[in-house]
Structure formats: C-alpha cells, structure tokens
Amino acid sequence: MLLAVDVGNTQTVFGLYEGEELGDRWRIATEAHRTGDELGALLGDFLDLGAIDGICLSSTVPRLIPEYEHLAERWARAELLVIGPGIRTGIPIEYESPREVGPDRIANAVAAKERYGSPAIVADFGTSTNFDVVSPAGAYVGGVLAPGIEISMDALFARAARLVKVDYVEPPQVIGKTTASALQSGLVYGFAGQVDGIVDAIRGELGVDAPVIGTGGLVDLIAPHSRTISAVEPFLTLHGLRIVWERNRD
C-alpha cells in the first residue's frame, strides 16, 4: 500500500492507496514541532505501518521533511519519495523559478491533467486559495495565490472588536438578518465571487474556457455557489501524489 501525505501549513491529509483506489484518509492539524517518533506513534493509531510499501510526501513545511524521513525509515521501514526538484512529474514546469512552486501545487496540476486533460484550472481552498493552471499544451504555467478563507476571516475578527467568530456554513439567505448570518454570507458569496473573477481573468489570458476543479478542506462550502467550478475533488492533491509516485517507480 502507498501512504500519500499532504502536509499543508494548517492541516495535514493522509490517504491510503491500494493501486489506484483511495481508501481510508485522515486529516489532522499540522504541528511543525512534531518529531518523527511522535508522527510514528500518531499514525500507528490510524493504520498498520508495517503494511505500508511506500510513502509519497508533499510538504510546505520544510522542517517536517526530515521527521517524515525518520518515520519512513524507523517506523514504516518503507521508501519515501519527497516531491521536489529532480522528481519525475510528467508535466513540464514553465515557471521562472521552478523551485519556488509548492509541491502541493505541482501535485494538483498533475492530477488535474491526468483526470481532466488540458487545459485545466485548479482552485485549492487551503491556508491560501491557490489557483494553478495547466495550459492547452499540457504544461504547468503558474497561477494565482490569494489569502485563504480561514486566515481572511481570522484577520477580520482580530480587527473588529464587535464581531465574533462564526461557523463556516452556508447562510440561509444572501441578505443577512443577523451579524452571524451576514458574516457567513460574506464568506460564502465573497469567496465564490473571488473564484469566478479570478477564473474569468485566467480564461481570458489562456484564450480558452478551461474547466475548473475545486479541492481543499472548504471546497464543499464554496463550490455550490461558484458558476465556474465544474468538478469537486476534495483529495485531488493525494491523487497527484499517487500519480507522481508511480511515475518514479522505474
């Protein structure tokens, strides 16, 4: 079995693959101070580490990479593949500084191209809202980075003393009748409008109506209110990790 691991700045997502099929998956808070032994003990509660044949890792937290190396060597006794420079992805990277591109963004582009063809746009709702673009020729050509939903709302609550945090749920209507529902409306319809505006601009630059695949922890909240998101893949990054793993087997 393959363990795919997507370490983000806020959350870490694990997924178990038997061939191409994604089985069990887990989502935990990312804690940069965790050691490899702590990760091993934690994962041991979720799965049988001895049954793991390999681990494919995408990490936006560099400090955790050696800890996952320790986890793979001592706890899982499995090969570890870390997404980064020199790894075969099967997609050309047309970016001025390829080393600056987050591994999760590359994994998203790889999965989008494999599952939906070219061109394609990925909207990933994480700590930041990332838009990653696959050109009609099938190359990763860059994208857009915008403040994410949670950090944007946290900043609003921190600056406005009379506002309180609200649940991230769909409001009953657009026009809020309470402060809480007004905030929820701004969250849902504001970010859906942001997505549509950015996608329209990207499509205009590409010269083609590329399909948009939504992913990330809050995609199910925003996607129903976006006119441009045509598919939802909550675990798109994990699928990309599996594909990259397979492309580096020979």
Residues annotated as catalytic (active site), given as ranges: 104
Size of the chain in residues: 250
**Which structure tokens are listed for 149?**
């939903």
Q: What is the largest CA-CA distance in the chain?
A: 60
Q: What is the distance between the alpha carbons of residues 121 and 215, in angstroms, rounded to a whole number?
A: 11
Of 145, 149, 111, 109, whose CA–CA distance to 130 is shortest?
Answer: 145
In the block, residue with structure tokens 């809050």: 218
First and final C-alpha spacing in the chain = 17
The angle, 0 to 180 degrees and rounded to 10, between the axes of the packed helices 149-159 and 179-206 is: 140
The angle, 0 to 180 degrees and rounded to 10, between the axes of the packed helices 236-247 and 103-116 is: 90
Residue 230 contacts residue 212 (beta carbons within 8 Å): yes
In the block, residue with structure tokens 């403040």: 147
Q: What are the residues facing 21 on neighbouring strands?
A: 18
Count of other CB atoms within 10 angstroms of residue 32: 11
Q: How far is CA 185 from CA 22, 99, 224, in A?
A: 34, 38, 13
Residue 238 contacts residue 6 (beta carbons within 8 Å): yes
